[in-house]
Amino acid sequence: MIKTAIASVLAREILDSRGDPTVAVDIELEGGARATAMVPSGASTGAHEAVELRDGDRNRYRGKGVLKAVANVNDPIARAVKGRDATDQRALDTLLIELDGTPNKAKLGANAILGVSLAAARAAAVATGTPLYRTFGKGTTLPVPLMNVLNGGKHATDSADMQEYMLVPLGAPTFAEAIRYGSEVFHALKDILHDKGMGTGVGDEGGFAPSGLRTNEEPIELILAAIARARYRAGEDIALALDPASTELYANGTYTLAREKRSLDARGMTQIYADWAKRYPIVSIEDGLAEDDWDGWRHLTATLGDRVQLVGDDLFVTNVTRIERGIREKIANSILIKVNQIGTVSESVDAVELGRRAGYTSVVSHRSGETEDTTIADLVVGLDTGQIKTGSLSRSERIAKYNRLMEIERELGSVARYAGRAAFTRVRA
Ligand code: PGA
Ligand code: ZN
């Protein structure tokens, strides 16, 4: 008997941070090691993501139940993986991909498959007494957190058109200090919003979702004021990142900024970003253009790609086929890594490695619907990508990842290195 062979796999329906159903998977190995993984879920999802299987039965959870995905784990998947070595992630993931047999995991569901892939990684770490980050790679770098302190778009009700305004504490000496910088600015921002009577309720990722914004630029000014109020230097201690999630703003060749009552084409959007990049310390822009606007992206990359990190999220969906096209056509220079966009640990690793060979950075990311699962914190350290996007400085499903990263930093001790400014290879010192 191999102690790390899978003895049992059991899935359950649980709730995510939005109160919607998602999949949890419990795995037990022959030697007695047990682990659980929970699957995240997006709201501004890309059209090319792997399929998240939902029941569609309007009588349960407004059609969002995941009992089909749960059943797929409990029968075909459990039967296939029983006896397999949980420490051989690649073989296990390959088996799961073959069992599904579709290019986008439409048969079994990426939520079913990912639950098993993540739970196996966690169980393998428990069984072998290895820190989880070590099962993903040799990295010792603590990532720069991209902290989404102002939520708009689909993650809020009456806020900015653009989805995410992030703090990037790249000047901090350690990860724990980066967290302190972020927390202090988050609270300063709360005071500023309160003083202006704009509301201090938070959106899906724990950032403020103020009402009464007149433009999509105003959040940048508010955040810079908060950085100053907390006595940090914008650009040196803390830079900024944006995720306009512009696929959500796009229809028929046009990007609509409803709050500003105007519509633009890809060149017009690029002009906005170029103007902002000149006037503000912006080091990263994600999904500046829509998921299938390859021509627009080519122009955006040619215009800004030498000085700003341009991250493909909906554009690449953690999918090597789409990333290969991007590399070939000189589109974007960074990849967002969301494990549930592709559905297995191994394919997420492949995306990072493909990007690395082409000089693309990678940002490991949560989803707007999250759980208390912290696996991505270990993943980003093991894979050594140097950047993580896991929300604001409130809501425990976000904070859990930060707390885990601070724990890892302590555990690594003198070996730990904070990625800092060097993580942003396109940004001049
Ligand atoms: P999602 O948003 O999880 O709702 O897709 C996150 C993002 O766009 O980065
Ligand atoms: Zn995004």
The whole-angstrom separation of Cα 153 and Cα 45 is 12
**Which residues are paired to 239 by β-bridges?**
168
The answer to whether residues 34 and 25 touch, using CB atoms and an 8 Å cutoff, is no
The whole-angstrom separation of Cα 197 and Cα 318 is 40
pLDDT of residue 14: 99
Reply yes or no on whether the pLDDT at 380 is more than 60: yes
Beta pairing class for 239-243 and 164-168: antiparallel
409 is catalytic: no
Residue 359, class by beta-carbon neighbours within 10 Å (0-12 exposed, 13-18 middle, 19+ buried)? Answer: exposed
Assign 3-class secondary structure to 188-202.
Answer: HHHHHHHHCCCCCCE
pLDDT confidence tier of residue 426, bands split at 50, 70 and 90 = confident
Please name the residue ranges forming H helices in 11-168.
67-72, 78-81, 89-100, 110-128, 132-136
The whole-angstrom separation of Cα 92 and Cα 156 is 38
The whole-angstrom separation of Cα 422 and Cα 199 is 36
- Which amino acid, one-letter code, is at 399? I
State mean pLDDT over 354-380: 98
pLDDT confidence tier of residue 428, bands split at 50, 70 and 90 = low
414 Cα distance to chain centroid: 28
- 376 CA distance to ligand 1 centroid (A)? 15
| Residue owning the nearest CA to atom 1 of ligand 1 | 42
The whole-angstrom separation of Cα 424 and Cα 199 is 33
353 is catalytic: no
Tell me the pLDDT tens digit for each residue of 241-300: 999 999 999 999 999 999 999 999 999 999 999 999 999 999 999 999 999 999 999 999
224 Cα distance to chain centroid: 24
Nearest to 210 by CA among 280, 259, 272, 145: 259
- 87 CA distance to ligand 2 centroid (A)? 31
Residue 370: what are its φ and ψ, rounded to 5°?
-125, 180
Tell me the pLDDT tens digit for each residue of 170-222: 999 999 999 999 999 999 999 999 999 999 999 999 999 999 999 999 999 99
368: which DSSP letter?
Answer: S
Element (H, E) at 317: none
Q: How many CB atoms lie within 10 A of CB 5?
A: 17
Ligand 1 site: residues with CB under 6 angstroms?
Answer: 42-45, 163, 243, 245, 313, 365, 367-368
pLDDT confidence tier of residue 429, bands split at 50, 70 and 90 = low
State mean pLDDT over 329-344: 98
Atom of ligand 1 nearest to the CA of 368: 3
- 369 CA distance to ligand 1 centroid (A)? 8
Mutate which of 147, 284, 287, 313 to test ligand 1's pocket (most atoms within 8 Å of Cβ)? 313
Atom of ligand 1 nearest to the CA of 336: 9
Tell me the pLDDT tens digit for each residue of 302-313: 999 999 999 999
The answer to whether residues 283 and 424 touch, using CB atoms and an 8 Å cutoff, is yes
pLDDT of residue 427: 77
pLDDT confidence tier of residue 347, bands split at 50, 70 and 90 = very high
Tell me the pLDDT tens digit for each residue of 77-112: 999 999 999 999 999 999 999 999 999 999 999 999
Reply yes or no on whether the pLDDT at 138 is more than 70: yes
- The total number of residues shown for the chain amounts to 429
State mean pLDDT over 425-429: 74
- Which amino acid, one-letter code, is at 316? F
The whole-angstrom separation of Cα 312 and Cα 290 is 10
pLDDT of residue 1: 76
Mutate which of 114, 204, 337, 367 to test ligand 1's pocket (most atoms within 8 Å of Cβ)? 367
Nearest to 285 by CA among 232, 227, 361, 215: 361
82 Cα distance to chain centroid: 30
Reply yes or no on whether the pLDDT at 421 is more than 60: yes
Mutate which of 155, 368, 395 to test ligand 1's pocket (most atoms within 8 Å of Cβ)? 368
- 313 CA distance to ligand 2 centroid (A)? 5
With b for 16 or more beta-carbon neighbours within 10 A and e for fewer, the 324-336 pattern comes to: eebbeeebbbbbb
Residue 229, class by beta-carbon neighbours within 10 Å (0-12 exposed, 13-18 middle, 19+ buried)? Answer: middle
The strands making up 254-257's β-sheet, listed across from edge to edge, are 250-251, 254-257, 262-264
Cα-based angle 66, 341, 75 (whole degrees, multiple of 5):
40
Catalytic residue among 105, 338, 389, 401: 338
41: which DSSP letter?
Answer: B
- Compute the mean pLDDT over every residue in the chain, rounded to the nearest whole number: 98
**Both structure tokens of 185:** 């600015």
With b for 16 or more beta-carbon neighbours within 10 A and e for fewer, the 55-83 pattern comes to: beeeeebeebbbbbbbbbbbeebbebbee
